[in-house]
Amino acid sequence: MRSTIATGLAPVYWLGNAPYQFADWASGLFVSKDELQQENEDLRARLLILERRALKYAALAAENNELRRLMNSAEVLDDRVIVAEVVGVSPDPYSHEVVINKGLRDGVTPGQAILDAHGLMGQVVQASQLTSRVLLLSDSSHAVPVEVVRNGLRAILLGTGNPDALDLVHVPDTADIREGDLLVSSGLGGRFPRGYPVAEVSRISKEPGEPFVSIQATPKAELNQSRLVLVVFPPARPEVSDAGDPAGEGE
Amino acid sequence: MLSVISYPVFVLSVVLALVLSISLFPVGWFEFRPEWLGLVVFYWTFRAPAQFGVLLAWCLGLLLDVLEATPLGVNALAMAAVAFLVLTIHPRLRMYPLPQQCLMVFLLLGINQMLVHFVKQLLGADNTGFSYLWPALTSAVLWPLVCGLLDHINQKLG
């Protein structure tokens, strides 16, 4: 029911975002040729660097898979992603949600993880035919299972309602954790794919007498700035996105 | 009460209110966003109580529920309450001067916000004191403008 109405209301989202599309278009009109060439060259240079890194990565991934096969464990496949654009922000100032312009029609289903260029951003909570709603990491009802990349220490990262600070909870007083540690998604719980950067530990305060330390972390993703995001499709269930299509025919 | 009303203007005002209630603003302004759909419901039940009533307000509130991702029916109930209260006080409301109308807008939309806030609190939202009443206040300030504008268009086209 909600998804049907939301599909009907897609033009409202489109209209709400129209001033920004128009501003983008208008600023695109007044770019000089030199600027474009300069930007093009910069992008080319950057592409070259990233391609070199990707080459090395391919070799490493192959080697990693080879080692895994030697150890008789399953091969790791790369996740498939599609690019989506943020077209709306939750009008409620106390909830951290955004609306993206990909929906059931593109195979997006609730529960999928959302990334931006820097790290994990959140997860899809509702999907209609053309748009879906994403709950951000910083919402006070959101939690991600993470691990410290340095030593594999596992913990839960909770949102606080503040886009610049997350809480790492239930870490014992004696645990080996330092400021500046990178937290990546641990993949436990099966909702988020493993190994994407989530946050960086920014402040640790030990209080004598408390069983747990209180740890604050800064999200890696630019939660309130990114306009282009990636929707991750877990490799193990490509049939899920196919199963979404028959439901789409019945709209 | 208007002798003639223009249905296209009604549809347009509703679409505009829905767009304005999700359009992007700097984060600091979100708290003060007027309750646009509430204003539209207030205006149309005030001006044309024979045509627009509780049921239509409920349907419009349902649309707002979907846009704001609140549990289905919360805004619908609150909008229906606004329409009901406008219908109840309608004979007196017509006699009020503009400042007093603004006060009524504040009261009724305040009740609307309060209902929505109560349900959200029950479902575990953060407690933010009385700041949830800001939209009612900004709506009351905007009421003369909205009312005058819609009246003007209505008389031109109706």
A20 touching B (Cβ < 8 Å):
yes
Q: Find all residues with CB under 8 Å of B109, minimum gap 6, and list them.
A: B35, B38, B39, B42, B82, B135, B136, B139, B140
Note whether A134 and A100 are within 8 A (CB).
yes
The rounded mean pLDDT for chain A is: 84
pLDDT tens column, A5-32: 888 888 888 888 888 888 888 888 888 8
Query: How sure is the predictor about A77, in pLDDT bands with cuts at 50, 70 and 90?
Result: low
Contact A92 B15 (CB under 8 A): no
Cross-strand pairs, A228? A85
Q: What is the DSSP letter of A226?
A: -
Kindly state whether residue A251 falls inside one of the protein's structural domains: no
Tokens representing A72? 């008789």
CATH number at residue A138: 2.40.10.340
Nearest to A181 by CA among A141, A206, A159, A152: A152
| Model confidence pLDDT, tens digit, residues A138-148 | 988 899 999 99
Position B77 scores a pLDDT of 94
Residues facing residue A86 across a β-bridge: A100
Kindly state whether residue A217 falls inside one of the protein's structural domains.
yes
Are B30 and A93 within 8 A, CB to CB?
A: yes
Token pair for residue B124?
A: 């575990």
Range of the domain at A106: 79-235
pLDDT of residue A190 exceeding 60, the answer is yes
Distance between start and end Cα atoms, chain A: 11
* Domain-located, residue A136: yes
From chain B, pick out residues whose CB is under 8 angstroms from the CB of A133. Answer: 69
Contact A17 B24 (CB under 8 A): yes
Q: What is the pLDDT of residue B144?
A: 93
Which two structure tokens, joined as six digits, stand for B52?
């627009």
- What is the C-alpha separation between A201 and A215, in angstroms, rounded? 7
Q: Report the topology of domain B7-157.
A: Arp2/3 complex 21 kDa subunit ARPC3 (1.10.1760)
Its pTM stands at 0.75
Question: Exposed (0-12), middle (13-18) or buried (19+): which is A134, by Cβ within 10 Å?
Answer: buried
Token representation of residue B99: 């400042």
**Whether the predicted pLDDT of A40 surpasses 60:** yes
Q: Does the interface ipTM go beyond 0.85?
A: no
| Domain parsing of chain B, residue ranges | 7-157
Distance CA B84, CA B137 (A): 20
Candidate from A54-68, A227-241, B102-116 with smallest mean pLDDT: A227-241
Q: Is A162 on the interface with B (CB under 8 A)?
A: no
List pLDDT tens digits, range B75-126. 999 999 999 999 999 989 889 999 999 999 999 999 999 999 999 888 877 6
Digit-coded pLDDT (tens) for B46-71: 988 888 889 999 999 999 998 888 88
CA distance A110 to A126: 5
Residue A107 lies in a domain: yes
* C-alpha distances in Å from residue B28, one per residue of A96, A224, B24, B31, B127: 14, 13, 11, 7, 18
Among A109, A106, A111, A108, CA closest to A122: A111
| Domain count along chain A | 1
How close B18 comes to chain A (CA, Å)? 7
Do the domain assignments include residue A156? yes
